[in-house]
Amino acid sequence: MRKLAALIVIAVAASFAAIPAVAADGPVKQFPQTVTLGFYRGQVISYLDFGPVKLAKGNKVAPIWVVENGVDAQRNVVDTVPGRGDYTPLWAVRVVTWKSGVTPRVLRSKSAVDAAMRAGQVTVKAMPIVVNCPVL
């Protein structure tokens, strides 16, 4: 009997999930958006990538480090998240490149990027691009 009740609950929930969202002025169109994984102070975070944007006067930006020749497990690195005073979804791209002869490793934080730069293992180049990537 409990299994039957659980199946009914699942079926009802699934039927509601199939109904499109409706706002006061009509149905809401939904768009699929892939979630991208990144690193924040050693932790895995998720964010949306809406691509490059043109800045308006007064827009606040924060750096995002993109490792171009790292290991497969490497993700982009940010140093702020929602809830912090310095958070913004607009990111100024910094390209991190491992120098020849250095064995790349995963960089999971700004401090790891800074340490690799101080050790002469990577170069960091500011790019003339800002991307809109809100952290979830």
Tokens (6 digits) for 15: 């039927």
Per-residue pLDDT of the chain (136 residues; tens, 9 = 90+): 444 343 343 444 444 444 455 556 667 667 678 999 999 999 999 999 999 999 999 999 999 999 999 999 999 999 999 999 999 999 999 999 999 999 999 999 999 999 999 999 999 999 999 999 999 9
CB atoms within 10 A of CB 15: 9
The structural domains of the chain, with segments of one domain joined by +, span 35-132
- Please choose, from the candidates 116, 71, 117, 122, the residue with its C-alpha nearest in 3D space to the C-alpha of residue 100: 122
What pTM was estimated for this model as a whole? 0.77
